[in-house]
Structures are given as C-alpha cells and as structure tokens.
Amino acid sequence: MLTKRIVPCLDIKDGQTVKGVNFINLRHAGDPVELGAKYAEQGADELVFLDITATVENRSTFAILVKEIAATLNIPFTVGGGIRTVKDVEILLNAGADKISVNSAAVKNPRLISDLEKEFGSQCIVLAVDTRYDGNQDIVYVHGGRIATERKTMDWVKEAVDRGAGEILLTSMDHDGVKTGFAIDITRKVTEIVNVPVIASGGAGNCQHFYDVFENGNADAALAASIFHFGEILIPDLKQFLKEKNIEVRL
C-alpha cells in the first residue's frame, strides 16, 4: 500500500507566507523559507508554495525565492502562481522546483497542459483546481478563487488528466480555512474518475479530518496551511495519530 502524504501549503504574497479564510482576509504567517525548512525537519512529505496573487497581479512567480527554498529543502516541493508558458515552467524547474502547479492559465488554454506534458513529462505537472458548489453542481474558479467559470469540476479534472496532468490538487473553496473538515464527497468523486494522485485541500482543523479524507475520501495526500503555520497541529503528532488508526504514513 502506498503511504499517504502530509503536505503543508505556503501561500505567498509579497515574499511572505499568508493565510486567509475562503480565499480572503489574509494574515501574515511567517517567512516561507524558514517555514519550509521547519516542516521538512518535522517530517512533511512534500511542500506546496503558491504565489497567490501572481495571476491577479499579472506577474510571474518569484524564481529567486524558489532558489532559496530549494537550497534549504531535502523533500520534493511544488510551485505555482502566474504560470502561463512552457518557459515559465522551465525557469521554475531550473530554480529547483520538483513540480509545478497550473490553474488559471490551464483553464483558459487547456493545450498548455499538453504542451507541458510533452516538454517535461506528466510527473511534474500538478493541476490545481479551485472548486465551489453553486447549489446545483461543482464549478471551477480561477484567478485566486475570484472568478467563476462555466467549467464543471468533474469534466475539467478528467480532461486535464487526459491531456497529461500527473496529479490533482483539489481545493474546496467552501471549506478553505474554516477548519470543519475536508470536502469528502467531491474528493472521493475525483479519485474515482482519474488514475492519478489526488491531493485534498481545504478545511483541515484536526487530526481526525486527515483520517476522514484518507479513509473516506480516498485521497492520496492531504494539504493544510494554517493549522501547521500557527502550531495547532504538529506533523509528528499527526502522523502518529494516523499510524495508530492504520493509515500508512512515513514516520
């Protein structure tokens, strides 16, 4: 059985880690290089760094920061935010990122996924999907969760994997930052229609929530931010909890 992964996420704005609720009301959470190193030391399996305003402000992800992060880490990390072209990805991978995350640009131009897969291989392409239930169905949002699209989440996830996405980072905007648990139903639905790993994101508030999304949501990995940033859960304690409940994790 493959081990389940614990993935701290660092949302970056102006070079600093921030965290909000439902994608707004951001507050400062610390230096991303220092936090990344601390999580790696605590036993995080991977890290995700998202430049959350890169697309909105129409600029590229800060490659210099990626180099600083790479110099301090001994675990894989993914970088996203403002990625629009093959060249953007080349710069970030050369700076030391192991994987890149695409979202808004891929929705606008799905061929980008195919181009990236052809150039770099699917193993380093993570499709980030920000999704919200509109009362009728799950809809994809872009531009940092600010703009609703006409794309249905399930259709988009399947198309992206068919085009070469090697992993799905699924964020439930309804659950983001509120700490009431991951979106179990949609996570399970996505894992059932794709054959690539799915990272559940949005809603972690305690150790039981991680167990629930692994056991009932069939997630391959679970991502969280504020509970790690503000010391509410320590990664070693979380992994020990999961181990005792027979979830395979790397201790």
Which residues belong to the active site? 11, 130
Cβ neighbours of residue 151 under 8 Å, at least 6 residues apart? 107, 139, 140
CA dist., res. 178 & res. 171, Å (int): 13
Amino acid at 197: P
Q: Reduce the DSSP state of residue 224 to 3 states and report it.
A: strand
- Whether the CB-CB separation of 78 and 126 falls below 8 Å is answered with yes
Distance of CA 190 to the CA centre of its chain: 15
Q: Per DSSP, which regions of 46-124 are E strands?
A: 47-51, 77-80, 99-102
Structure tokens at 87: 């060249």
- Whether the CB-CB separation of 197 and 168 falls below 8 Å is answered with yes
DSSP assigned state of 31 = -
HSE of 49 in the Cβ direction (CA atoms, 13 Å)? 35
CA dist., res. 81 & res. 90, Å (int): 14
CA dist., res. 101 & res. 86, Å (int): 12
CA distances from 14 to 17, 52, 80, 176 (A): 8, 10, 14, 21
